[in-house]
Amino acid sequence: MALLACEALTFAYPGSAAPALREVSLRVEPGEYLLVVGPSGSGKTTLLRHLKSALAPHGTRTGRVLFEGRPLEAVSRREQAQRIGFVMQNPRDQIVADRVAGEMAFGLESLGCDPARARLRMAEAASFFGLDGWLDRATADLSGGQCQRLNLAAVMAADPAVLVLDEPTAQLDPLAATEFMALVRRLNEELGITVVMGEQRMEEAFADAHRVVVLEEGAVAACGKPRAVAARLVAGDSPLAAALPAPARICHGVVGAEAPAEDTAPLPLTVREGRRWLRRWCAERGHGGAAPANPTPVEPTGRSKESSFASPSAAEPERCPTDGFGRKTGASRRVGVHGCDAALSLRDVWFRYDRTGDDVLRGLSLEVPPGSLCALLGGNGAGKTTLLKVAAGLARPLRGSVRALGRSARRGPFPGVALLPQDPQLLFSQPTVAAELAEMADMAKAAGGSQAEVVELCDLGSLLERHPLDLSGGEQQRAALAKVLLGNPAVLLLDEPTKGTDVLFKKRFGQLLCALTERGVTVVMASHDMEFCAAWADRCVLLFHGAVAADDEPRRFFGANRFYTTAASRMSRDVFADTVTDGQVIAACGAVAAQATEGECP
């Protein structure tokens, strides 16, 4: 008997003509790890919320949801609360108590668990999730990743049979997201907990899952084992193929271009499988396998060659459509030229938040030339956000000089420099997007920003009358960016702009940033998203312990790193030198294939 099942579930929100779910039938067996994927707006959340009566949305519904063979309505709320654990997207919203221990106890208290047993459950969960050290901490002081781990622990303390997660990592940085996914995998593998997870970001979860369900416009488009689903997605040229793990995208880009119909090897889903596959692929074509000694890459971007590899795969984000990579090399030539005309220049900057606190920036120096797209990378607490605040003039350094657009620091923020914070909701205060933009336009009248142009650039036309807080994560990011751009900044500082957004948005966002730098806007972006930085930035700066640890153009930057680099680079580094994006690996493979055929033909 299936643990959870949907039978021909159709659902429409009140007032909307199109149903959000169409005839969804689904069976979740005990102990299974089921991944529900789909682009934003495909009905993932609606479906998952139907799996628990307390969260089921209001609207017209036909079909049934069964829990252990019983209709869900017949299962008491209390039993559902205990047996079906649910973790939602926003880490902070789910927290009720003010201390970690209280939060863990909340569910058990609500279920009327007797104190001795509840303490045992809390102790178990705390040690499994590694929370022992911070039981007495205030929940307000936890980071997003810690909050989400606490939410998971609090739900698991009630000992549920099935765990339903609705995009649990969308608000987390990639490192915290990976940690969270590893926890979920452990729960499934070591404790046999049934897991149903909705995710936009498939990199981590795809290989872990037993089965994958693809939702498109509320209907099940594909369902099956991860490899089969991945193969179906790439074969169908679905836009979701771009969200597959990098090895699968690369393999498809190479093999699909070579022999579209041929389906010999299963798609690699992890870096380990990808490496094995790539090694064998290269060996078959007589490529040495070892990385070439010379650090200069063979112009592998492939646009100039007429081979079939030149066409970008679904995975490779299309750069500025006009000139491909040409502009990038031009811009990167400027890297390292420490001219006095830098748009942003920090020299020996020291900063701390508290008189007695630790230094967050320790003698940091950085120059960003005008019109470049500079990515700041580094772990949590490396000082990325602080650096942006200092650069915006929101925080005054203890020592050192900060100059933006040739002006040195004075009281208050720099004019012409705008900071888009990590949480775009901080910028929203009006009832509609249009009012948000009008508020900014009023202020910026003197600066001469044209509202229609910005709306066009950020693709907000259809969203103008919506409430900003009702938009999806990517839409909010675009609306906030539009608001910032109306001020016509010459230096744009972005804090984690791709957090919680899907692949399609990232591509569009990268193009938008490119278009901005074309116009001479300087963009500095703090990000954990290595794939995005490798594909779009002119220059990557690694912050470590409050200072710059590495500063180079993306290819050399990621090519030189071993751990801190993109999946494409990790997969290909012992075969090719400095191939750090999917497109570069695919192009390098194309060059190998071309050599191999040349070798055979004459």
Partner 1 sequence: MGTPPTAFLIPVHPIVELGFFLCAIGLGVFLLSPPFALVGAGAAALTLLLLQGRAAGRLIGATVPLAAVVALANPLFVPLGQTVLFAYAGGRPYTAEALACGATVAALLAAVLWWFASFNRVMDTAKLLYLFGRFAPAVSLTLTLVLRLVPTFGRRASAVAEARAGIGLGRGSGAKVPAIARVREATVVLASVSAWSLEHGVATADAMESRGFGTGHRATVPCWPLRWRDAVALGLMGALVAIVVAGAALGVTEATFFPRIAVPTGAPLFGVSLVAYGLLLLLPALVMGRERLRWHFSRARR
| Interface with partner 1 in residues 155-174 (CB under 8 A) | 155, 158
x/- mask, partner 1, residues 357-396, rule CB under 8 A, reads: --------------------------------x--xxx--
Report the distance separating Cα 274 and Cα 280, nearest Å. Answer: 10
SS (H, E, C) 342-400: CCEEEEEEEECCCCCCCCCEEEEEEEECCCCEEEEECCCCCCHHHHHHHHHCCCCCCEE
Report the distance separating Cα 84 and Cα 189, nearest Å. Answer: 18
Cα–Cα nearest to 246, from 228, 271, 226, 264: 271
Identify which of residues 77 and 272 has a Cβ nearer to partner 1 in the complex: 77
Q: Is there binding between residue 460 and partner 1 (CB under 8 A)? A: no
Identify which of residues 97 and 161 has a Cβ nearer to partner 1 in the complex: 97
Report the distance separating Cα 43 and Cα 46, nearest Å. Answer: 5
CB of 86 to partner 1, least distance (A): 5
Enumerate residues 6+ apart whose C-beta is below 8 A from 585: 250, 253, 254, 278, 568, 571, 572, 576, 579
Q: What angle do CA 261, 263, 265 make, to 5 degrees?
A: 155
Main-chain dihedrals φ then ψ at residue 375, nearest 5 degrees = -105, 130
Identify which of residues 207 and 481 has a Cβ nearer to partner 1 in the complex: 481
Instruction: Enumerate the β-bridge partners of residue 28.
Output: 4
CB of 275 to partner 1, least distance (A): 41
CB of 415 to partner 1, least distance (A): 7
Q: What angle do CA 215, 216, 220 make, to 5 degrees?
A: 45
Specify the stretch interacting with partner 1 by CB under 8 A; choose among 59-67, 84-92, 332-340, 525-533.
84-92
Identify which of residues 394 and 504 has a Cβ nearer to partner 1 in the complex: 394
Q: What number of chain residues touch partner 1 (CB under 8 A)?
A: 73
Specify the stretch interacting with partner 1 by CB under 8 A; choose among 94-102, 210-218, 263-271, 366-374.
94-102
Specify the stretch interacting with partner 1 by CB under 8 A; choose among 137-145, 218-226, 310-318, 374-382.
137-145
CB of 93 to partner 1, least distance (A): 4
CB of 124 to partner 1, least distance (A): 14
Amino acid (1-letter code) at residue 307: S
Place of tokens 């100059």: 403
Residue 224 DSSP SS3: strand
When binding is defined by CB under 8 A, the residue of 14, 112, 357, 602 that contacts partner 1 is 112
Specify the stretch interacting with partner 1 by CB under 8 A; choose among 101-109, 318-326, 450-458, 552-560.
101-109
Q: Is there binding between residue 96 and partner 1 (CB under 8 A)? A: yes
End-to-end CA distance of the chain: 63
Report the distance separating Cα 551 and Cα 563, nearest Å. Answer: 16
When binding is defined by CB under 8 A, the residue of 8, 138, 191, 337 that contacts partner 1 is 138
CB of 354 to partner 1, least distance (A): 12
Q: By CB under 8 A, what part of segment 517-536 binds partner 1?
A: none
Q: By CB under 8 A, what part of segment 13-72 binds partner 1?
A: 52, 54-55
Identify which of residues 29 and 439 has a Cβ nearer to partner 1 in the complex: 439
What is each CA distance from 124 to 84, 95, 157, 313, in whole angstroms?
A: 19, 20, 8, 47
CB of 414 to partner 1, least distance (A): 9
When binding is defined by CB under 8 A, the residue of 40, 42, 45, 94 that contacts partner 1 is 94
Enumerate residues 6+ apart whose C-beta is below 8 A from 186: none
Specify the stretch interacting with partner 1 by CB under 8 A; choose among 131-139, 169-177, 507-515, 577-585.
131-139
Identify which of residues 51 and 269 has a Cβ nearer to partner 1 in the complex: 51
Q: Is there binding between residue 483 and partner 1 (CB under 8 A)? A: yes
Question: Contact 402/350 with Cβ under 8 angstroms?
Answer: no
When binding is defined by CB under 8 A, the residue of 137, 185, 327, 508 that contacts partner 1 is 137
The pairing of strands 84-87 and 162-166 is parallel
CB of 89 to partner 1, least distance (A): 8
CB of 447 to partner 1, least distance (A): 9
Identify which of residues 337 and 426 has a Cβ nearer to partner 1 in the complex: 426
Q: By CB under 8 A, what part of segment 419-448 binds partner 1?
A: 419-421, 423, 425-430, 439-440, 443-444
Enumerate residues 6+ apart whose C-beta is below 8 A from 6: 24, 25, 26, 47, 50, 63, 64, 65, 66
What is each CA distance from 351 to 343, 529, 562, in whole angstroms?
A: 21, 25, 30
When binding is defined by CB under 8 A, the residue of 26, 47, 75, 113 that contacts partner 1 is 113
Identify which of residues 187 and 440 has a Cβ nearer to partner 1 in the complex: 440
Cα–Cα nearest to 402, from 337, 344, 338, 339: 344
Cα–Cα nearest to 504, from 479, 526, 478, 485: 478
Identify which of residues 95 and 571 has a Cβ nearer to partner 1 in the complex: 95
Specify the stretch interacting with partner 1 by CB under 8 A; choose among 23-31, 116-124, 269-277, 560-568.
116-124
Q: By CB under 8 A, what part of segment 307-346 binds partner 1?
A: none
Neighbours of 421 (CB within 10 A): 19
Q: Cα torsion for 409, 411, 417, 419, to the nearest 10°? A: 120
Specify the stretch interacting with partner 1 by CB under 8 A; choose among 114-122, 184-192, 240-248, 529-537.
114-122
Identify which of residues 244 and 486 has a Cβ nearer to partner 1 in the complex: 486
Question: Contact 149/183 with Cβ under 8 angstroms?
Answer: yes
CB of 212 to partner 1, least distance (A): 25
CB of 269 to partner 1, least distance (A): 32
The continuous run of DSSP H or E covering 73 comes out as none
Cα–Cα nearest to 582, from 251, 324, 250: 250
Q: Is there binding between residue 140 and partner 1 (CB under 8 A)? A: yes
The continuous run of DSSP H or E covering 578 comes out as none
When binding is defined by CB under 8 A, the residue of 20, 37, 75, 105 that contacts partner 1 is 105
CB of 54 to partner 1, least distance (A): 4
Identify which of residues 256 and 397 has a Cβ nearer to partner 1 in the complex: 397
Report the distance separating Cα 377 and Cα 387, nearest Å. Answer: 11
Specify the stretch interacting with partner 1 by CB under 8 A; choose among 7-15, 64-72, 149-157, 536-544.
149-157
